[in-house]
Structure 1
Amino acid sequence: MIRLSRLARFLLPLTVSGITLLSGCAGMSSSTRASGADGAASAPVNEQQVNALYAQLDQASGQYEDALQLARSGDKKQADQTLDETLDQLKDAAAKCGDTPGCDPQRFFSVFDHLLRLKDGSFIAGDEGDTLPDTPDAGVAGDASSPVIQALPRAQQSVTLLRGHKLSDLIAMNGPVKAALEEWLTWLRPQLMNAYVNYEYMRYEMWPAYRKADLPEAILFGILAKESGGKVHAVSRSGAAGPLQFMYSTGRRFGLGTVDGFDQRFDPALSAKANAAYMDEQLKVFNDNLELTLAAYNGGEGRVRRLVDGRDNISFYDPKIYFSLPAETRDYVPMVLAAAWLFLHPHRYHLKFPHLDVRPGHIVLQRPASLSELTVCLGEAGGKQDGWFRVLRNLNPRLNPQKAQPEGARLNAPKVLEKAYAASCTGGHWPELAADLHAASDPTMPAWMRMRHYRVRRGDTLSGIVRRLGCSNLRTVARMNHLHPPHYAIRAGRRLKLPRCRR
């Protein structure tokens, strides 16, 4: 059980007021935000003013975490005073953000959510207060009179609700789902953990689309974990691409095109928006049946519609449906549902997702560098033992990670890296080492050693071709072309592979 402490009572009204205010701002179109509430001409962005608001947000966030430490140490009087000041600062910054051109409301969403998630969603252990269930489903979709239900904004409720129903009630805990749970918890456990980490750093870009569509965040995570593991640039053998693996034609249908040479399927925010639109569309088609909607996402909506044939109450697990689908789709649906279930209930399965500081920030390059060089330079900053390459690449999907970006370039990065970059990567040993490693290259094969092709002419023999073109030796050429001694028979018109030829 989790106790709703005094700290929670400070944070919940903050989240309600802040996110309610910012939801209105985020819900406007970009053109509306640019023109202002009265429809006036687009106001210029005041970078200094925007950065001041972000600084105020960061300062208040740090003070809140300090207050947590004070409360844990027993200094509740000072903790209460700090929380009062923090609440005022955050409300003030949130209000100003809504009126400031260029201020990103998603940055505030991310910080509010970070504060709400501190200490695994609980607050001060042992603090007296109202008692709440320890599962997200019960805490969000339970008794409407609960103080948390009344306090939590719709943005938080949508995490575990689908069309007004608890997501846990919609996931059938049957054989296929249990088998999928075992896979995620055993040999696929590293992939699940990596997917969670990757998602958390992209969450501020991807989750708003699901929140706006009133779709459960757990389903977004489940799809991401199964489709790409949170690797933005993943491409399948069938041509599906991006973190949510859209086929080209489906992506085009939901607004994902190619702009200035960039395939928008690789954009986390745009792909999440397209995925939310797809899920919303197919849920309506399949009478809010989640399993059939996921089956359509993987196996094609046309195929699933034909199998369902207009029947409203048919189940994905009906043998006539289940065994008419490809094995990949029969595996896909329970795997997504199992990952979503673990996202909601990790502690039921001895699973502990890491606590991460995923607040978004930016790095302004003080010297040219590629994402690869930055990864070497940053090392294990912030305690990230596997480095920052995947995070930096996911947050900057339009950039070639091997291509140096110019001085002054502004890169998306977690907030925690801003100080690490300033300390280690603007000059000195580490950026020089990174540049030296990046400049290294493998030897280039001489032209005469490269593979070439030759079209056999009438009267040619294999030995004659090898001698005339100065190739390595007869046996090597024969082996590469699956020719057998003693005659090495070849026919006119055949195309031969010829390695290491001098002419």
Structure 2
Amino acid sequence: MPVPVLLVRGWPLLAVAAMLSIVPEAHAQRVSARDKAKVEALDQRMTAAEKRYNAALVLVNNADPKGTNEADAALEDMEDVISACVAQKGCVVSNLLPTYKRLLKSNADSQQDNEDGTAIADGTLLEADPDHVGPLAADVPEAARAAALLNDKRHAFDTMVEYNPAVQAGIRRWLTDMRPALLTSYENYQNLRAVMWPEWEKRGLPEALLFGIMAKESNGRVHASSRAGAAGLMQFMPATGRRFGLGPDGTGFDTRFDARSAAEASATYLNERMRELNNSVELSLAGYNGGEGRAIRVFRQYPGQGFWTDSVYNQFPGETKDYVPMVIAAAWIYLHPQQYGVEFPKISAQPATIRLAKSTTIYELTICLGSAGTRDGYMRALRNLNPRYEADGWIPAGTTINATTRIAGLYNRFCVSGPRADLARTLITADLNAAIVRPTAVSYTGNVAVGSVVPVAQAQAMPAVTPVAPVAVPAAKPKAKPARSYKVGKGETLGRIAARFQCDVPTLARANGLKAPAYSLRQGQSIKLQGCDK
């Protein structure tokens, strides 16, 4: 669906804004209280029109046919405000120009989304990220190198690395058996671009390199972790993460899983390597993967020699020899997709937030949102944008979560109420145990053999027994079951453990001092199975 173009009576809005900017302003006019009230009303109308236009863009991005009509109506409102301002004594037209500037940018961003699926990030923090802290503010490299590195549009990155057979072999792998991983990495990165790329941009590092590292390290999965202990999109080890402000934040959350924090720390870390290693991308990547100590030792031992020199190359382990060309290969494809016949998926990733109308889980949202406009649905995007929440953990009503404009539109249409919302709730609360039929006690009928029968006469000759009143015996109090312990396995969540042992989740959480909504657990942790039936 085409995005509405900002026009005023047939003129492009930018041209009108330029024309209006030369209209003499009315600062010198004496303005009455009545005129001031009229000017203030015009300002309010312009603000309302801007809000209406932005809301219409959300509808347009979600293929809602109402979007275009709403946008046109909002633009007509603005035209009327402009005309009224020109005629109104005391109305300063230049005061309205900031609104035009914002709308022009919004219009350009939306057109860019329609053309190539890439949202233009302005670096603004998403509202639902109150826990993010930025301890690494003073790491901006020298301007000359920053200008060269940032020039991805002319592919200056190409001159900074060697396009040799090792990189070509890496490209071959990304384009064959690893092509699905490459496309998945691209989709994941586009949804995270608004929070990751600004951290690299202001530190003078190329976006293609950010994508290459992320694709090789985690495929863009925020919660990725390795057996060695590395975690997050950029796979920081615990000790290295602590050096750059990453790790447990006191609430049970590890900030290595936060996309913005990981981007900030990785850019700072890579800049350290670049400064130590004569701005060599290959050696810096080798240090990122194989250890900074090894990289600086080899660099000093073989001064002036590049990574591909055999004496240097053979100092690194096999994993690093594979890692360096694979990162460069992914970055190269990111810059030259058409050359290799790669058509990256179009992703609508304009940042937005959602205030939940009712309690929900990411699993439930994934079901009710559907998969319109995406190949695999929105579960990965929601998990990446909201790393503090487990997929099956309940998020309270009123919570603000990170999303995109497309997800926000689908949420309002399908997840607040209606058949799909009801179906999602039914599926998410379905209990496997309820499907198991447990028959009740069975009564038998028919002939039953009882052995020898006592003659009636003998029975009558038996002495009578005086009935005795029953004595009430107090019922024994059931003994409280001792709470068992359970060791948390890899990837297990409190919700899964509760389902396995038929536990009440709040009781289980209180018994183990776990805080909602994350209920964070770690592998190998021993917990008490309090409030469990099995």
TM-score of Structure 1 vs Structure 2, range by shorter chain: 0.5 to 0.7
Displacement after TM superposition at 1:62 (Å):
8.5
Asked if 2 retains the 8 angstrom alpha-carbon contact of 1:11 and 1:116, the reply is no
Comparing both structures, which one devotes a greater share of its residues to helix? 1
1:191-213 superposed Cα distances (whole Å, 9 cap, x missing partner):
00000000001000000001100
**Residue in 2 that maps onto 1:92:** 98
**Residue in 2 that maps onto 1:176:** 166
Asked if 2 retains the 8 angstrom alpha-carbon contact of 1:218 and 1:341, the reply is yes
One-letter code aligned to 2:288: Y
Pair 1:347-2:322 in alignment:
no
Displacement after TM superposition at 1:431 (Å):
2.1
Displacement after TM superposition at 1:161 (Å):
5.2
**Residue in 2 that maps onto 1:137:** none
- Trace 1:70-469 onto structure 2 (pairs within 5 A): 92-93=98-99, 115-116=111-112, 119-120=115-116, 159-160=150-151, 166-259=156-249, 260-309=251-300, 311-381=302-372, 383-443=373-433
* Inter-CA distance 65–397: structure 2 relative to 1 (3 Å threshold): closer
* Inter-CA distance 370–451: structure 2 relative to 1 (3 Å threshold): closer
* Inter-CA distance 218–441: structure 2 relative to 1 (3 Å threshold): same
State the SS of the aligned residue for 2:327. Answer: helix
1:427-451 superposed Cα distances (whole Å, 9 cap, x missing partner):
2322222222222345599x9xx99
For 1:413 and 1:89, locate their aligned partners in 2 and report how far apart those are by CA, in whole Å: 32
For 2:383 and 2:281, locate their aligned partners in 1 and report how far apart those are by CA, in whole Å: 32
Displacement after TM superposition at 1:313 (Å):
2.2
Unaligned 5+ segments in structure 2 are: 1-6, 16-45, 64-74, 83-93, 119-144, 437-480, 487-534
**Residue in 1 that maps onto 2:466:** none
Asked if 1 retains the 8 angstrom alpha-carbon contact of 2:150 and 2:201, the reply is yes
* Inter-CA distance 431–120: structure 2 relative to 1 (3 Å threshold): closer
Displacement after TM superposition at 1:308 (Å):
1.6
Asked if 2 retains the 8 angstrom alpha-carbon contact of 1:57 and 1:90, the reply is no
For 1:366 and 1:306, locate their aligned partners in 2 and report how far apart those are by CA, in whole Å: 56
State the SS of the aligned residue for 2:115. Answer: coil
* Inter-CA distance 60–396: structure 2 relative to 1 (3 Å threshold): closer
Displacement after TM superposition at 1:396 (Å):
0.4
One-letter code aligned to 1:175: P
One-letter code aligned to 1:429: P
State the SS of the aligned residue for 1:309. Answer: helix
Asked if 2 retains the 8 angstrom alpha-carbon contact of 1:110 and 1:204, the reply is no
State the SS of the aligned residue for 2:403. Answer: strand
One-letter code aligned to 1:254: F
Displacement after TM superposition at 1:92 (Å):
2.1
1:362-389 superposed Cα distances (whole Å, 9 cap, x missing partner):
22211111011010011123x2231110
Aligned length: 346
State the SS of the aligned residue for 1:377. Answer: helix
Displacement after TM superposition at 1:160 (Å):
3.6
One-letter code aligned to 1:201: N
One-letter code aligned to 1:349: Y
For 2:14 and 2:174, locate their aligned partners in 1 and report how far apart those are by CA, in whole Å: 33
**Residue in 2 that maps onto 1:481:** none
State the SS of the aligned residue for 2:293. Answer: helix
State the SS of the aligned residue for 2:387. Answer: coil
**Residue in 1 that maps onto 2:445:** none
Unaligned 5+ segments in structure 1 are: 1-6, 14-48, 67-77, 98-107, 123-153, 453-503
1:118-168 superposed Cα distances (whole Å, 9 cap, x missing partner):
53499xxxxxxxxxxxxxxxxxxxxxxxxxxxxxxx999854459x99101
* Inter-CA distance 96–357: structure 2 relative to 1 (3 Å threshold): closer
* Inter-CA distance 117–407: structure 2 relative to 1 (3 Å threshold): closer
For 2:177 and 2:95, locate their aligned partners in 1 and report how far apart those are by CA, in whole Å: 46
Asked if 2 retains the 8 angstrom alpha-carbon contact of 1:158 and 1:211, the reply is no
One-letter code aligned to 2:194: Y
Displacement after TM superposition at 1:410 (Å):
1.1
Structure 1 residue runs of 4 or more that deviate by more than 6 Å after TM superposition? 10-13, 49-54, 60-66, 88-91, 94-97, 108-111, 154-157
1:4-30 superposed Cα distances (whole Å, 9 cap, x missing partner):
xxx9xx9999xxxxxxxxxxxxxxxxx
For 1:157 and 1:234, locate their aligned partners in 2 and report how far apart those are by CA, in whole Å: 32
Question: Greater CA deviation, 426-435 or 385-394?
Answer: 426-435
One-letter code aligned to 1:200: Q
**Greater Rg by CA:** 2
One-letter code aligned to 1:119: E
RMSD value over aligned CA atoms?
A: 4.2
* Inter-CA distance 174–428: structure 2 relative to 1 (3 Å threshold): same
State the SS of the aligned residue for 1:119. Answer: helix
1:309-358 superposed Cα distances (whole Å, 9 cap, x missing partner):
26552111111121221111000000000000000000000111122211
**Residue in 1 that maps onto 2:136:** none
One-letter code aligned to 1:210: W
Asked if 2 retains the 8 angstrom alpha-carbon contact of 1:366 and 1:408, the reply is yes
For 1:404 and 1:258, locate their aligned partners in 2 and report how far apart those are by CA, in whole Å: 22
Q: Normalising by structure 2, what TM-score?
A: 0.57
For 1:443 and 1:211, locate their aligned partners in 2 and report how far apart those are by CA, in whole Å: 52
